[in-house]
Amino acid sequence: MATTKYSSVSEMFEGGNNVVKICAPMVRYSKLAFRSLVRKYDCDICFTPMIVASDFVQSVKARDSEFTTNECDRPLIVQFAAHDAQTLADAACAVAPFSDGVDLNCGCPQRWAMSAGYGACLINKPELVKDMVKQVRNQVDNPNYTASIKIRIHNDLRKTVDLCQKAESAGVSWITVHGRTSEERHQPVHYDAIKTVKDSVSVPVIANGDVKYLRDVESIHQLTGVDGVMVARGLLANPALFAGYEDTPLECIWDWVDISVQQGTPFTCFHNHLIYMLDRVSSQPERKVFNSLCSTSAVIDYLQSTYGSVHVLET
């Protein structure tokens, strides 16, 4: 764990009043370049996007395309979609030398995931989740390597508590709770449900959902008593959120340009992240022009002429 003073992820949750700040697993978005950016702005732990464990285990091409990291990309949690214990354990063993833990996705509500037996359907299979956690803990030869789960809640919260307690009995390292059911999308987050989970287990609990500013992190901590807060869309809009910025600062925008150029980020990804970052700080006519740009050089020229630069880029 090259970029932290802690010897393990679990240690980050122990013996302190600081809320651990986590970048969520986001399809297409929480890849190496974006993780490198948010780490510059006080993000403690980053997740990879969700990776289908069976594809990852069976295909070299899938491994090469789905999992990219470097020595500064720590602490790193690799999130997998899986529905059998041995496949998850095999995937965990493959990434263990290059990461600090694996997370089992038990919250993705997308139809394709649930129809394949992945994601949120697993919250209704506590014994299977328990077995998957146990096999990862048994087969990864590193006592500090974490095995966590990310869940959504049930309408009947007793089922959620039962799931979490079964996972705890299997040795789960920590639990992230997205405070919505699998049917809910933009409804308010049920922070009372997250607090109930936190009060029902002794392992660290992470809250996820509707964080737009750093002040939200502290208010959720006060409301629920959780050990950490995970952010997705809020970090897309403002990667400097955890450092206390209300909107994306110009320095962060140029940091993204630098990182993207250095790492060879594909243009679509590079451009889409900037569309998110500039949304709250640009006018509708500006957004229309920016969204139509078709090359990295055009984007850089636009940024320099519209916002100015904080330094001279080496491209």
CA dihedral 281, 286, 292, 298 (to 10 degrees): -80
Q: Which residues lie below 8 Å from residue 237, measured CB to CB, with a gap of 6+?
A: 212, 248, 276, 277, 279, 280
**DSSP label of 295:** S
User: What's the farthest any 2 CA atoms get from each other in the chain?
Assistant: 58
- Region label for 63, one of left (φ > 0), alpha (ψ between -120 and 50) or beta (otherwise): alpha
Angle separating helix axes 250-263 and 296-307, nearest 10 degrees: 160
Q: Tokens at residue 29, please? A: 């978005």
Q: Which of 23, 43, 106, 108 is catalytic?
A: 108
Whole-angstrom Cα distance, residue 234 to residue 135?
A: 34
Whole-angstrom Cα distance, residue 194 to residue 153?
A: 8
Whole-angstrom Cα distance, residue 213 to residue 185?
A: 20
- Distance linking the first and last C-alpha atoms of the chain: 30
269 catalytic residue (yes or no): no
Question: Could you count the other beta carbons within 10 Å of the beta carbon of residue 93?
Answer: 17
Whole-angstrom Cα distance, residue 76 to residue 260?
A: 19
Q: Name 150's bridge partners.
A: 105, 176
Q: E-strand spans in 63-153?
A: 76-81, 101-106, 146-152
Q: Is the dihedral of CA 102, 149, 31, 117 positive or negative?
A: positive
The answer to whether 237 and 277 have CB atoms below 8 angstroms apart is yes
Q: Which residues are tagged catalytic?
A: 108
